[in-house]
Chain A
């Protein structure tokens, strides 16, 4: 095989497309011809370089430019037109205003006692709104007031009880009771003298107001407070 024949078969040889007989002849020539080996290596390198060459990215404006040159100014679809109309309303400031308006409206509707699921003609009358709003406001105030007085009574009772347990000086100075010989199951541990001396009062607490009356403290019960503060 000559140099020229090998040269003509170079690409097919490198791509593995030669018949076995021809391939053997080419290889036999390559074994004895360094210049053809060099030429083969050059072509192999060219193929590798081409295959390794990266794809180039066109400029981002190329497609819009071609669009403009072919179909002209693109007409927006109905969805894009609507979005264009709604775009100002989609700003954060407007969205916040709308959200606050909806929130305020929901509070008013709730205060007016309107049930949106069972709406009647009467519910649409502003006079009904005012009446219901007024009623709801007064009810709320009354509940708040009642809660406040209930809380006051509870705190007052608690403070009195605390006074009875720990802050009676003359009783704290009284002599300690000697424990009964042999011990007793009713005895109070000496570590709690005040509790021991006030034991009879705790027994009185079972009867509401008894202990308080004995200490000349205004006896207050929940029923009395409620009757005083309707």
Chain B
């Protein structure tokens, strides 16, 4: 890939091809971040598009002295996700954990998947459901640390909070996630056992 500062300069100069290259380089990462926050593929696509529109409009405000472009991009995405969450919370009808679990279990598989893939998909869905149960502060800290492999310093920059707060949120988030997963397994266990002949 082309050197990032060079690519950014070309973007600022108005070169469409440079902007396209930048999009191709970061869309996947931002889409994953959005998906982990929203839990829905279509919503994640919309939010990803909104994030990049914002990035396109505010790219000239990025300064390399403040940190890497990836960190700046993550910060823009995170701020937008927080706004999106606040907007969506007003409209969203919260469903109970049991309903969501039942929905996840009844969701038909689009194709006959091999056992390994089915297990992987189930695990991914369970993880996503459990993440949805966390408060936004804890969720974003866990996502950035464990799903996006950012270090504490980068997370502190993205969230604009001290590193101590980041560590505390990550720890609390993991503990909470562990409890949620355990509860979910407790509910899935008897349900599955009941289905068996």
Contacts and interface: CB of A to CB of B under 8 A. Distances in A.
A50 B181 contact: no
Contacts, number: 97
Interface in B144-197: 146-147, 167-168, 170-171, 174-175, 177-179, 181-182
B139 to A, nearest CB: 12
Contacts of B124: 53-54
B56 interface: yes
B23 interface: yes
B170 A11 contact: yes
A55 B177 CA distance: 20
Tell me if A's interface is mostly helix, strand, loop or mixed: helix
Nearest to A48: B146
Contacts of A66: 23, 27, 48-49, 52-53
A66 B54 CA distance: 11
B32 interface: yes
B31 A46 contact: no
Contacts of A62: 27, 31, 45, 48-49
Interface residues of B, number: 36
B16 A71 contact: yes
A7 to B, nearest CB: 6
A186 interface: no
Contact of B20 (A58, A63, A69): A63
Contacts of A49: 123, 127, 181
B28 interface: yes
B142 interface: yes
Contacts of B120: 54
A225 interface: no
B33 to A, nearest CB: 10
Contacts of B27: 58, 62-63, 66
Interface of B: 16, 19-20, 23-24, 27-28, 31-32, 35, 41, 44-45, 48-49, 52-53, 56, 120, 123-124, 127, 142, 146-147, 167-168, 170-171, 174-175, 177-179, 181-182
14 contacts: A11-B167, A39-B175, A42-B181, A49-B123, A50-B147, A53-B127, A55-B28, A59-B41, A63-B27, A66-B48, A66-B52, A67-B20, A70-B19, A70-B56
